[in-house]
Structure 1
């Protein structure tokens, strides 16, 4: 499984929105771009996909921007990545008709198990958990140690 830059940026942008979930005003693409160092044009493509999947709400106008459509504990890494990565869990074609039994065994014992594992792992990670981990990481960096 390979996660594209678009998928990685999508997760990062969603964690940024999660951090600002309680803010009364929406967050602009420019603000996200500045804070994360991601191209505004690239983020617009990402947010188009996130909006289509109903993970974010967009508000138009001079005070417009984006907000999470649900609480950060209700949005998973799988939700975000599956809306951006078209082939996150993609079924591939069979190798050959002569290999029907082998294809069936491989599909059932390798690929289906792998797909299920990926789904379960990503579906167990919420934006709220990622935000908590980020906050912990940032607070650990700010500690001073004296010897």
Structure 2
């Protein structure tokens, strides 16, 4: 299991939307792109995927943009990651046709590792990321004072 650029950018965009959820503030693509240093065109594609996955909503009009579709406390990192990477990335199939018993054993251990990673991602929400970011920023401010 690896964090691809695609997933990282999507999580960064969701983090920005989550941080504005309580204010009801929408963000436009160019704002998110600047805040998180994500190429505009790539971000457009990611946001379209997240919208189709039901994680965000688009708002039309001059003050339009994107907002989270649900409370950030209810969107897990696993849900966001699977929306971007696809369900197959969460539950890959074991290859029971491996050539050897040794290959099967390695595949079984790899499956356990994926399940452990999925469990960790299921335990964190977008709100958790926002809170962690706030704590890190506070530490940075304390360091510079």
Flag the 1:30–1:105 CA change in 2: closer, same or farther, 3 A.
Answer: same
1: CA distance between counterparts of 2:20 and 2:31?
Answer: 11
* Conserved 8 A contact 2:59-2:65: yes
SS of the aligned residue for 1:57 comes to strand
Query: Which residue does the alignment assign to 2:10?
Result: 10
* Conserved 8 A contact 1:17-1:27: yes
TM-score (normalizing by structure 1):
0.85
Please state how far the C-alpha of 1:62 moved relative to its aligned partner. 2.1
SS of the aligned residue for 1:22 comes to helix
1: CA distance between counterparts of 2:74 and 2:31?
Answer: 24
Structure 2 portions without partners, runs of 5+:
none
Report runs of 4+ in structure 1 exceeding 6 Å deviation.
Answer: none
1:123 corresponds to 2:122:
yes
2: CA distance between counterparts of 1:89 and 1:24?
Answer: 31
TM-score (normalizing by structure 2):
0.86
SS of the aligned residue for 1:62 comes to coil
* Conserved 8 A contact 1:25-1:63: no
**Higher share in helix:** 2
Structure 1 portions without partners, runs of 5+:
none
Equivalence map 1:26-45=2 (5 Å)? 26-45=26-45
1: CA distance between counterparts of 2:106 and 2:139?
Answer: 45
Between the two proteins, the alignment pairs up a number of residues equal to 144
- Rg larger for: 1
